[in-house]
């Protein structure tokens, strides 16, 4: 599936809502943004 969007913020949270059901392949900036959000979420669930 592909989309044309005006900004990454508006779509990032929509993508996160799908959890592990979606993989962002490109653009790299969006892929990196989703990765960063996922890493921050993990900090709440991983024991130190």
pLDDT tens per residue, range 12-42? 999 999 999 999 999 999 999 999 999 999 9
- pLDDT score at 5: 81
- pTM over the 0.85 mark: no
Question: Is the torsion defined by CA of 40, 41, 44, 48 positive or negative?
Answer: negative
Mean pLDDT of the region 3-15: 86
pLDDT at residue 46 tops 80: yes
Contacts 24+ apart (CB under 8 A), 11-18: 12/37
Domain segments of the chain: what residues? 8-42
- pLDDT score at 48: 61
């Amino acid at each position: 599936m592909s989309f044309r969007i005006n900004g990454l913020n508006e779509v990032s949270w929509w993508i996160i809502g799908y959890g592990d059901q979606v993989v962002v392949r490109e653009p790299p900036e969006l892929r990196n943004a989703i990765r960063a959000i996922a890493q921050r979420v993990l900090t709440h669930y991983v024991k130190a």
